[in-house]
Structure 1
Amino acid sequence: MSGISRSVVFGDSDDVELRNPGDGAALRFVVDGTAAEPLDAGAALHLRLRPDAVHIVRFDADRHLRRNRVKLSLLDLPLRPDQLLDLVPPQLRERADRLRG
């Protein structure tokens, strides 16, 4: 997990173009968690909103704040052990506890 990556949110009328600058190597993009086909040198990938693909996401405000604090703390390494545990999904923490027994 990268502590410095940030999400970018665009409006419903925005068009985005990602262009391979053309140094000879193909690039790979992941858009909304889906890998796109390799983009050859000099080629462009055009992105726009699909009108029927919008979903509303609601975050638990406290949980979202805790996770963002931990992510931001990655910029101030070293981390405290309790902060590292916050990055592990609860079901994995429970499984690890059971295995340690």
Structure 2
Amino acid sequence: MKRGELYRVAHPTARDPKRSRVFLVVSRQVLIDSRFSTVICAPVYTAYHGLQTQIPVGTNEGLKHESSIHCDELISLPKSALTDFIGNLSREKLKQVARALAVALDIANAQQ
């Protein structure tokens, strides 16, 4: 498992109306490689509102539909749930995700 990989997860949360949802692994690689049992992920939705915290993705990344990664809705998922590999992001898309995460977490203002 690596940062930037997309996985389809069956029944990720009790309140998610879909039977499965695609998630992007965003945890740092050191955490992914550790014995820690969960990783931080960002959900992928078909909705795209053009926010700075949403990154468009689609068939180039292994998805069936044009979608977007929502960096404002991070969730911790068990590594054991991430078994259905879909695809991975390009280096450029991963940079866009890093910028979106910085916006979502207000990292620039946290350093003041």
TM-score, length-normalised on structure 2? 0.26
Instruction: Determine which structure has more spread, i.e. the larger CA radius of gyration.
Output: 1
Higher helix residue share? 1
Give the TM-score normalised by the residue count of structure 1: 0.28
